[in-house]
Amino acid sequence: MKRTVALLMENQPGALSRVVGLFSQRGYNIESLIVAATEDPSLSRLTMTTTGDQKVIEQITKQLNKLIDVVKVLDLGESDYVERELLLVKFLHGSIQTEVIKELNGEIIFENNELFNIQFVGTSKELDQVLKDLESSNPLEIVRTGAFGISSNLKTLTI
């Protein structure tokens, strides 16, 4: 089962390596990982997607909470939340029709006479489908950010 876990941690050197290290140390998977500073500069928000059954996810959140640098952990899947991921794809001119891009809700964000870059936004699942649909057009390069999310109720990950 795929789960998205978000956490706030101290914005200081070493904090990220403790979080990442915990995963390899205890044999958990990280499918994707996003980190950025928050509006409070002393904190970073980290979002990761991982797989495991309920028991594993519970252990992951408990172990994350134990890290001194981790201030707060939220398993987003515990309640309703929205998830987004960004996908950038590079195509040579002529390899794809602009209609196809439009149909897939893609946006051309850069273009020259050789190639163009297209941006797609959606849930990870939607982007998986987009990539499938683009496969036959031979994209030159693909890059994904990994998913992040925010709960869609009054529960907030703040301190």
Nearer to another protein, 40 or 141 (CB): 40
Binding residues for another protein, per CB under 8 A? Answer: 9-10, 13-14, 17-18, 21, 25, 55, 58-59, 62-63, 65-66, 68-72, 159
Nearer to another protein, 70 or 147 (CB): 70
Q: 5 - beta bridge partners?
A: 48, 75
Nearer to another protein, 66 or 125 (CB): 66
Q: How far is the CB of 71 from another protein (least distance, A)?
A: 4
Q: Phi and psi of 99, rounded to 5°?
A: -60, -40
Give the number of C-alpha atoms closer than 13 A to the C-alpha of residue 74, restricted to the C-beta side.
19
Q: How far is the CB of 56 from another protein (least distance, A)?
A: 11
Residue 123 CA to residue 129 CA, distance in Å, equals 10
Nearer to another protein, 24 or 105 (CB): 24
Token readout for 16 is 């990220």
Residue 116 CA to residue 129 CA, distance in Å, equals 21
Nearer to another protein, 8 or 134 (CB): 8
Q: How far is the CB of 63 from another protein (least distance, A)?
A: 5
- CA 52, 53, 55, 57 torsion: positive or negative? positive
Q: How far is the CB of 86 from another protein (least distance, A)?
A: 29
Q: How far is the CB of 70 from another protein (least distance, A)?
A: 6
Three-class DSSP category at 137:
helix
